[in-house]
């Protein structure tokens, strides 16, 4: 079993494999899970790039322009709404989201201000603000 898509260039039958040939259902599930992870990663990179282009078109800096969690948090803290904070935060790569969340949850007072809002809406399992 394997997952294929009709695409060009392709094999002689007109298909391109997205997964290797698998002899067991478990192997196929593992291959599909890995493919989903790669697709999610590509989507994250595209989301971050899209947000950067939008901000550049408006002449704004994006949180991606900052390199450490403290700088990113400062930009997030300036958001005027939870929705704006959610959009900026969720637009970061997963690794950046983890770094920022670790900074907020371990270094800041999560009982007041923007850190409180962040901690109430942070989904630790998916590394997203909800």
Q: By CB neighbour count within 10 A (0-12 exposed, 13-18 middle, 19+ buried), where does 92 fall?
A: buried
Give me 10's structure tokens: 């392709």
Do 53 and 114 sit in the same domain of this protein? no
Task: Estimate the crossing angle of helix 113-121 against helix 69-77, to 10 degrees.
Answer: 100
Least confident of 31-35, 50-54, 108-112, 118-122: 50-54
Residues 88-107: what's their mean pLDDT?
Answer: 90
Of the three residues 60, 78, 107, the one that is the final residue of a domain is: 60
Task: Say if residue 123's pLDDT is above 60.
Answer: yes
CB 97 within 8 A of CB 90: yes
Which of these three, 42, 60, 78, is where a domain ends? Answer: 60
**Mean pLDDT of the region 47-67:** 70
Tell me: do 56 and 83 sit in the same domain: no
């Amino acid at each position: 079993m394997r997952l294929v898509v009709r695409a060009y260039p392709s094999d002689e039958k007109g298909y391109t494999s997205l997964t290797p040939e698998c002899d067991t259902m478990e192997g196929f599930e593992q291959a599909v899970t890995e493919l989903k992870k790669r697709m999610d990663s590509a989507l994250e990179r595209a989301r971050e790039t899209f947000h950067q282009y939008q901000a550049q078109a408006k002449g704004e800096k994006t949180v991606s322009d900052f390199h450490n969690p403290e700088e990113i948090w400062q930009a997030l803290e300036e958001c005027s709404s939870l929705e704006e904070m959610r959009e900026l935060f969720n637009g970061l790569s997963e690794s950046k989201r983890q770094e920022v969340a670790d900074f907020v949850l371990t270094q800041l007072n999560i009982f007041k201000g923007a850190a409180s809002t962040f901690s109430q809406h942070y989904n630790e399992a998916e590394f997203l603000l909800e």
